[in-house]
Chain A
Amino acid sequence: DGGITQSPKYLFRKEGQNVTLSCEQNLNHDAMYWYRQDPGQGLRLIYYSQIVNDFQKGDIAEGYSVSREKKESFPLTVTSAQKNPTAFYLCASSSDRGPNQPQHFGDGTRLSIL
């Protein structure tokens, strides 16, 4: 079955460490997105990519980095510069670079600070 796979489901980070969250899709989608979800807030866009080897900052990109070397993969690195990384992270994809396409979501990764 086609879908989006995020791993790991739970991740713990020590202070000062970078961690990378994986997102893989086999839907042949061009566009991919990373969102952050905090309690009581709506999802916020971190980074998005419309095509391989290209990506743009979203609303809260500081302290995060991404790469898009393959169409199927869009990993997110939470760097030590992100001072409040504890959150639920969701990856999504859509079939076209244009607007008004339904987004397909992964099951998320919950990141906590030790």
Chain B
Amino acid sequence: KNEVEQSPQNLTAQEGEFITINCSYSVGISALHWLQQHPGGGIVSLFMLSSGKKKHGRLIATINIQEKHSSLHITASHPRDSAVYICAVTGGSNYKLTFGKGTLLTVNP
């Protein structure tokens, strides 16, 4: 079974700072997902990637398959980025997601 570890668990930043959230997994995967959960509880899918790098607005996700590691970066952070960021992986033909415990990000104005 894949183990998914995220760091840090909690992160507080000032508006405008560059943010990095890390995710490591123990077994080879076919895809890695980054999700955002707002205080109300709803979850939004940010990225799904299996190699390289993806960018959407101020968000950048990278993955290193050899090192079994992914990072989510937020440039020019804003208070509205405050949320829980969750990493999840799928492996091979098994499309079930295995989730990390999440990183709580708070961006102060």
Contacts and interface: CB of A to CB of B under 8 A. Distances in A.
Interface SS majority for chain B:
strand
Contacts, number: 64
Interface of A: 31, 40-45, 48, 58, 88, 90, 92, 94, 97-108, 110
B109 interface: no
Interface residues of B, number: 28
A114 B24 CA distance: 39
Contact of A107 (B31, B35, B40, B48): B40
Given A42-B102, A108-B42, A102 B97 contact: no
A44 B86 CA distance: 13
B86 A104 contact: no
B96 interface: yes
Contacts of B96: 45, 48, 58
Interface stretch (B62-70, B74-82, B87-95): B87-95
Contacts of B45: 102-105
A108 B101 contact: no
A99 B41 contact: no
